[in-house]
Amino acid sequence: MGNCECAAPQEHSNPRYEGICQKCSKQIHPDRLDSPENVHAFYDRLAESIFVPDRSKPGLPPVVPDLFREFRGQCEARWDVGRPKFGRRYLSRDNSADGREESTDGGNYALYDVLQHGGLQNDREVDLALEEARFLYKAFECNRKRTAKRQGSP
């Protein structure tokens, strides 16, 4: 039977056919599904790419800070809450555009938070908000690059 090769698979509306594309009636490859295993694997790889093991202590895993655990926990919790609500719409929507929109929203939230807590005259607040906004801009930029590469750009 083979796997679905549709550019934008649409999961079958009948729950008995979970993981089957409604367009072509083929199995959607498990690597494309937002299973708990894939979600956990993504955040495991993220942690491994950020936190490198101490070379002086071979065999020990990297130390992952509590802040990253909090971040990951919130990401996974939001996925868990959204899954029943949104299903697998991510298979057929423009996730890149949505990601860019979220990055720009984050930039605005940083600004709003500064305005709420003293305004642009509070340099300490502004400096931290600008650092946050820089990272959100970098997320926006990386999103654009990933999208361009997918469309054939070098």
Question: Using one digit for the tens of pLDDT, what is the confidence trace for 4-20?
Answer: 999 889 988 898 998 99
pTM: 0.84
- Which contiguous run of DSSP H or E holds residue 143? helix 123-150
pLDDT class for 93, splitting at 50, 70, 90?
very high
* Neighbouring-strand partners of residue 27: 3, 20
By the 8 A CB rule, do 66 and 41 touch? no
The CB density around residue 100, as the number of other CB atoms within 10 Å, is: 17
Q: Which residue has the tokens 């996974």?
A: 76
**Averaged pLDDT, 62-88:** 94
pLDDT class for 57, splitting at 50, 70, 90?
confident
* Nearest alpha-carbon partner for 6 in 88, 90, 92, 83: 92
Q: φ and ψ at 27, to 5 degrees?
A: -65, 130
DSSP string covering 61-92, please? PPPPPHHHHHHHHHHHHHHHHHHHHHTTGGGT
